[in-house]
């Protein structure tokens, strides 16, 4: 059985993951509006991934005999000044999520909830990947920002995400 304290914290994390999906979907709309369909596709897939993260926690709470209580999702921004500004926000947001996951791990360890601690290891590892991916794109955008040809190449590369 999951403790009330862990259940509350996991419910808060579900909201953060759903907000992440909502934020990335808003970013996808921004990119679609600006004609960068590859960036938009990347963001749509990222939004799907964040929704899956929320559902993973959602299912875990029920598996442990807890209750999920969904909260309102804050409206994200809708406009940015440039693709670089978008991905700087993505990187900042992912570091926020990493801190939140780390706080959850600390809580689970403090509560001696070994099952939740073990469950959260996947999220810890996932956040390393998320931050690295966002950081790489920020670096590439900084190089390509004043080179339209490079921006279009990056758009094409990001649009290939998920293709095999």
Residue by residue, pLDDT tens for the chain (164 residues) are: 899 999 999 999 999 999 999 999 999 999 999 999 999 999 999 999 999 999 999 999 999 999 999 999 999 999 999 999 999 999 999 999 999 999 999 999 999 999 999 999 999 999 999 999 999 999 999 999 888 889 899 999 999 987 65
For the chain, the structural domain boundaries read: 4-159
- Structural contact between residues 84 and 62, judged by C-beta atoms closer than 8 angstroms: no
Work out the number of other CB atoms within 10 angstroms of the CB of residue 160. 11
The alpha carbon torsion through 130, 111, 115, 103 (nearest 10 deg) reads: 0
Full-model pTM = 0.94
CATH number of 4-159: 1.20.1260.10
């Amino acid at each position: 059985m999951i403790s009330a304290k862990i259940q509350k914290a996991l419910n808060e994390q579900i909201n953060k993951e759903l907000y992440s999906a909502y934020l990335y979907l808003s970013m996808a709309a921004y990119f679609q509006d600006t004609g960068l369909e590859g960036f938009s596709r990347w963001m749509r897939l990222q939004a799907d991934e964040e929704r899956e993260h929320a559902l993973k926690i959602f299912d875990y709470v029920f598996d442990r005999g807890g209750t999920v209580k969904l909260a309102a999702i804050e409206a994200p921004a809708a406009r940015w000044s440039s693709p670089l500004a978008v991905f700087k926000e993505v990187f900042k947001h992912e570091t926020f999520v990493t801190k939140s996951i780390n706080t959850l791990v600390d809580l689970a360890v403090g509560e001696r909830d070994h099952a939740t601690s073990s469950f959260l290891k996947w999220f810890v590892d996932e956040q390393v990947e998320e931050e690295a991916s966002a950081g790489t794109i920020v670096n590439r955008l900084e190089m390509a920002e004043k080179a339209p040809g490079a921006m279009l190449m990056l758009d094409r590369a990001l649009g290939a995400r998920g293709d095999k």
